[in-house]
């Protein structure tokens, strides 16, 4: 990613330099001034009656703010998420009141559970109409309360600068999350004496950065140093805390095998010598099995989701758990820790590393490699080098790796292709895996990939999507058509809602109830949107087709027909312990 | 683990919408709120919620941490009954003629620690303050005389061990809170998490 795209965040001195300070401006202008002061360069949005004053003001800001007109507000918010995930910055989304705002709900829930910083601005009816069932009035604040980190309704323009400052501060600090600001139309229109924009640096009821207690660092270090079979599991906290370097230094000094959750993926390169794969239901064999064999389990910036732990009362019972997290509500929520280390891992990891004895756990690491060999033999070889005539999802990803060298951002939708992509894709760079982890939102892939491209314009972005999920937000091809995001769309078409079909096969006696899904001719659809594409179903064409997709100047759609009834393995069946993971 | 009564005290900013934000954290977990009171606190500008639920401690502890995580919540505590001093208030409306005719009102009031707040020709309103059983026993006593209306307030509670919120608030207002309130206190005594 190029550094030139990373703008300086707002500072106090920047506020002083604002030319409009001391003049009378509208609430709408104040919104846009706030975005500029926060270093925002891109907005994903869709206009409508109640947000028209903001769009009217935007007309004069198009040289400073890029607005991407999406095709559906859900697409807008997923694009905002993709942007945030690939850039590490806060995504900004505009929507109108009523249906515009309700269309954001899925994305808010997704961003909430995956800790993605967003500031969403919705228009609202005039304040005097609130509660009257006015045209396109919905109670957006109450609808979105459970799926926002913070939300607030503005009815007076004078509040706008300070409320937006709070919004950006809350979205980005501590455990990040989505914030929604609902602004009534009168406040957007209202003129007021603008005093400039002052970024928020403190809210007394909100303390995002815990003070680290050295005693706990010391205790954690003591426990870790005494471990014979230490095992590190890490999540997105490492990426959100920008602590990739600190994390690497930590595992390398201790010689700890380290496994990632789906959200932690790409924080270290996938081929790091201490990397032992992905945790969870469709994760790798070794890290799942050995979770129930390690003596000290060091959890970093992860939240023990049930897809990671499997059956909780049989999860790592033999181990002492050290849990590093910035969110105190996560500590002891699902798994009781022996030593809780509450803090920002950017701070806690170096403190811990300093107290570590340099170590080498090669015998223990070898155990992971042994089980990995078993997984390669039983699962991976067939998936990546199949003897079947029909292509597998795995070999598509493998070939993609060969061509991108692990330097692409891989965005996925939800389902089997997501698990396969996350299992087999290679990542060299942090923030290069963008997927809907906590909510598992089908339809996330295409719009998130568009956003990811704006967040990292110099990086190749490949969207790996199933034939089901693609049809959920297919309309965003229109956004690509109009604004030209060079997203590479890779549809893995198994002609089924594959993941659900797999469960029906394994757990419901193969009673395939409404998982057979038909597709339009995607190549023709793409063509209608001015996007070139190709469908292949032969192995011989795979490499060339992928190369053509990557080389193409602009967006390109490649549909690969894959095995209809292939399953993703290994698998921890629901209700089973992680060590009961099945290889077939 | 068995369910018991917990009183949750939440210090917050006085913000529209916060009541909903807190209330839905209970309903999301299908926990019934037995009683909920919002009021000013000992500190100007700081609001205080008092919420009573019946739950197992583990659930309460996690819930309280989630509540405390909300941006506009300053601090949240949970206590068992023996750790608090609490009261509820109730009003009872009865027909004046019946009650005057049939009972020695003075004795009744004395016995239940109640007082008459309104006496009119047609009805009388009694008020009593105390624990729930006391309030309920007066209902029993008044029922035979035709209880017209009854209403009971939410619980209000004082935490016995609390030193109040004044000092804490000063720390919260600082950019970098001091060692005393670094809010890692639950890490010191993992079992007594949010007690003071
Ligand atoms: C919005 C939404 N609806 C339903 C689901 C349940 N679901 C999970 S995976 C899946 C099948 C996905 O099928 P497809 O997109 O074809 O991908 P595949 O599993 O075949 O790779 C479904 C229906 C979901 N995750 N999200």
Judge whether B17 is closer than 8 Å to chain A, CB to CB: yes
Domains along chain B with CATH numbers: 4-84+158-180 (3.30.70.260), 85-152 (3.30.70.1150)
Question: Which atom of ligand 1 lies at the shortest distance from residue A106's CA?
Answer: 1
Residues A480 and A75: beta-carbon distance below 8 Å = no
* pLDDT, tens digit, 9 for 90 and up, residues B59-91: 999 999 999 999 999 999 999 999 999 999 999
Mean confidence (pLDDT) of chain A: 96
Give mean pLDDT, residues A9-38. Answer: 83
Q: What is the pLDDT of residue A8?
A: 45
Geometric angle at alpha carbon A527, from A523 and A531, rounded to 5°: 100
Decide: A231 and A294 in contact? Cβ < 8 Å. yes
Retrieve residue A327's tokens.
């969110």
HEC string of B30-91 equals CCCEEEEEEEECCCCCEEEEEEEEEECHHHHHHHHHHHHHCCCEEEEEEEEHHHEEEEEEEE
Q: For residue B107, name the pLDDT band (cuts at 50, 70, 90).
A: confident
Q: Using pLDDT thresholds of 50, 70 and 90, give the confidence band for residue A1.
A: very low
* Fold matches, A3-203 and A385-561: yes
A73 flagged as catalytic: yes
**What tokens does A132 get?**
């009257």
Q: What is the mean pLDDT of residues A337-358?
A: 97
Confirm or reject: Cβ of A414 under 6 Å from ligand 1.
yes
User: A94 near A45, Cβ under 8 Å?
Assistant: yes
Place of tokens 């920002």: A344
Contacting residues for A31 by C-beta, under 8 A, at least 6 apart: A54, A57, A121, A160, A164, A183, A188
Return the pLDDT at B109. 86
Q: Is A74 a catalytic residue?
A: no
| Contact A560 CB / ligand 1 (< 6 Å) | no
Q: In the CATH scheme, what architecture does the domain A385-561 have?
A: 3-Layer(aba) Sandwich (3.40)
Per-residue pLDDT tens for A249-283? 999 999 999 999 999 999 999 999 999 999 999 99
ipTM above 0.95, yes or no: no
Which two structure tokens, joined as six digits, stand for A262?
């789906």
- Return d(Cα B138, Cα B116) in angstroms, integer: 13
pLDDT, tens digit (0-9, with 9 covering 90-100), for A145-203: 999 999 999 999 999 999 999 999 999 999 999 999 999 999 999 999 999 999 999 99
Chain A hits for B189, Cβ within 8 Å: none
Contacts of A456 (CB under 8 A, 6+ apart): A1, A5, A86, A87, A409, A431
Please tell me the distance from the alpha carbon of residue A448 to that of residue A465, in angstroms, as a whole number. 11
CA angle A309, A312, A314 (to 5 degrees): 100
Give the active site residue among A393, A419, A472, A499: A499
Mutate-to-test residue for ligand 1 from A281, A419, A499, A522, highest number of ligand atoms within 8 A of CB: A499
Average pLDDT, stretch A315-341? 96
Confidence of residue A307 (pLDDT cuts 50, 70, 90): very high
> Sign of dihedral through CA atoms A77, A81, A84, A90?
positive
Look at the block and give the residue holding tokens 């109670």.
Answer: A139
Answer whether A208 touches B (CB < 8 Å).
Answer: no
**B117-143 pLDDT, tens per residue?**
999 999 999 999 999 999 999 999 999
* CB-based contact A145 B187, cutoff 8 Å: no
Tokens of A283: 């994760």
The model's pTM = 0.95
Higher-confidence residue of A9 and A215: namely A215
Residue A136 catalytic? yes
CA angle A280/A78/A185 to nearest 5° reads 140
Q: Pick the atom of ligand 1 nearest to A517's CA.
A: 16
Is any ligand 1 atom within 6 A of the Cβ of residue A446?
Answer: no
**Domain regions of chain A by residue span:** 3-203, 214-368, 385-561
In the three-class reduction of DSSP (H, G, I as helix; E, B as strand; rest coil), residue A473 is classed as coil
Q: Which residue of A has its CA nearest to B170?
A: A204
Alpha-carbon gap, residue A230 to A361, rounded angstroms: 8
For ligand 1, pick from A415, A441, A562 the residue to mutate: most ligand atoms within 8 Å of CB: A415
pLDDT-derived band at B178, boundaries 50, 70, 90: low
Looking at residue B105, its pLDDT comes to 80
The CATH label, of 3.90.1150.10, 2.40.10.220, 3.30.70.360, 3.40.50.970, for the domain at A3-203 is 3.40.50.970
Average pLDDT over residues B158-167: 91
Residue B179 confidence class, pLDDT cut points 50, 70, 90: low
Q: Is A468 in the pocket of ligand 1 (CB under 6 A)?
A: yes
Catalytic residue among A149, A172, A185, A398: A185
A211 contacts in chain B (CB < 8 Å):
176-177, 179, 182, 184
CATH no., domain A214-368:
3.40.50.1220
Distance of CA A539 to the CA centre of its chain: 31
């Amino acid at each position: 990613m190029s550094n030139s795209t990373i703008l300086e965040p707002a500072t106090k001195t920047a506020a002083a330099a604002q030319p409009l300070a001391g003049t009378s401006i509208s609430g709408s202008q104040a919104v846009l001034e706030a975005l500029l002061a926060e270093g925002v360069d891109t907005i994903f949005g869709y206009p409508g009656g109640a947000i028209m004053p903001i769009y009217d003001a935007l007309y004069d800001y198009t040289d400073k703010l890029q607005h991407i007109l999406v095709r559906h507000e859900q697409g807008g918010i997923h694009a905002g998420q993709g942007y945030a995930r690939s850039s590490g910055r806060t995504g900004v989304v505009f929507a109108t009141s009523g249906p515009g705002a309700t269309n954001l709900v899925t994305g808010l829930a997704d961003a909430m559970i995956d800790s993605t910083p967003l500031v969403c601005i919705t228009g609202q009816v005039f304040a005097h109409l609130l509660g009257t069932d006015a045209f396109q009035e919905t109670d957006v604040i109450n609808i979105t309360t459970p799926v926002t980190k913070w939300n607030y309704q503005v009815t007076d323009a004078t509040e706008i600068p300070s409320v937006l400052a709070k919004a950006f501060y809350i979205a980005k600090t501590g455990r990040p999350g989505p914030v929604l600001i609902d602004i009534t139309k009168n406040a957007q229109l209202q003129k007021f004496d603008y005093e400039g924009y002052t970024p928020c640096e403190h809210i007394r009821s909100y303390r995002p950065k815990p003070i680290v207690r050295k005693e706990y660092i010391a205790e954690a270090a003591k426990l870790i140093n005494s471990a014979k079979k230490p095992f590190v599991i890490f999540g997105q906290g490492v990426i959100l805390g920008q602590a990739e370097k600190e994390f690497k230094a930590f595992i390398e000094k201790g010689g700890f095998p380290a496994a990632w959750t789906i959200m932690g993926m790409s924080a270290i390169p996938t081929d790091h010598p201490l990397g032992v794969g992905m945790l969870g239901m469709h994760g790798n064999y070794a890290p799942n099995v050995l979770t129930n064999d390690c003596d000290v389990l060091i959890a970093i910036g992860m939240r023990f989701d049930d897809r990671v732990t499997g059956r909780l009362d049989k999860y790592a019972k033999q181990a002492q758990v050290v849990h590093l997290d910035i969110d105190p509500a996560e500590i002891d929520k699902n798994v009781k820790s022996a030593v809780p280390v509450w803090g920002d891992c950017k701070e806690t990891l170096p403190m811990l590393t300093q107290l570590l004895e340099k170590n080498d756990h090669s015998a223990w690491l070898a155990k992971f490699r042994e089980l990995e060999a078993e997984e390669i033999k039983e699962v991976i070889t067939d998936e990546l080098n199949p003897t079947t005539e029909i292509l597998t999802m795995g070999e598509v990803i493998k070939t993609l790796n060969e061509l991108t060298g692990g330097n692409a951002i891989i965005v996925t939708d939800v389902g089997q292709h997501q698990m396969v992509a996350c299992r087999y894709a290679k990542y060299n760079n942090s923030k290069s895996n963008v997927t809907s982890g906590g909510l598992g939102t089908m339809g996330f892939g295409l719009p998130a990939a568009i956003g990811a491209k704006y967040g990292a314009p110099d990086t190749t972005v490949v969207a790996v999507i199933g034939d089901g999920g693609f049809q959920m937000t297919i309309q965003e091809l229109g956004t690509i058509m109009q604004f030209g995001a060079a997203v590479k769309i890779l549809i893995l078409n198994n002609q089924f809602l594959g993941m659900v079909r797999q469960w029906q096969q394994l757990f419901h006696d193969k009673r395939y109830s409404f998982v057979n899904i038909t597709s339009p001719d995607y190549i023709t659809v793409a063509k209608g949107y001015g996007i070139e594409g190709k469908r292949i179903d032969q192995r011989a064409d795979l490499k060339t087709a992928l190369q053509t997709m990557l080389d193409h100047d602009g967006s390109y759609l490649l549909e690969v027909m894959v095995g209809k009834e292939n399953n993703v393995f290994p698998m921890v069946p629901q209700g089973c312990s992680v060590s009961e993971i099945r290889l077939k | 683990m068995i369910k018991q009564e917990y009183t949750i005290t939440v210090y917050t900013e006085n913000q529209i919408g916060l009541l909903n934000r807190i209330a839905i954290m209970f309903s999301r977990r299908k926990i019934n709120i037995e009683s909920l009171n919002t009021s000013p606190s000992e500190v100007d500008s700081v609001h205080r919620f008092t919420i009573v639920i019946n739950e197992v401690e583990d659930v309460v502890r996690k819930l309280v941490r989630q509540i405390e995580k909300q941006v506009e919540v300053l601090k949240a505590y949970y206590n068992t009954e023996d750790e608090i001093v609490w009261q509820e208030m109730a009003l009872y409306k009865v027909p004046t003629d019946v009650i005057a005719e049939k009972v020695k009102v003075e004795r009744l009031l004395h016995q239940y620690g109640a007082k008459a707040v309104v006496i009119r020709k047609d009805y009388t309103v009694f008020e009593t303050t105390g624990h729930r059983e006391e309030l309920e026993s007066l209902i029993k006593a008044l029922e035979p005389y035709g209880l017209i209306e009854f209403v009971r307030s939410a619980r209000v509670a004082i935490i016995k061990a609390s030193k109040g919120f004044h000092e804490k608030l000063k720390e919260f207002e600082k950019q970098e809170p001091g060692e005393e309130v670094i809010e890692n206190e639950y890490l010191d005594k993992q079992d007594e998490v949010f007690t003071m």
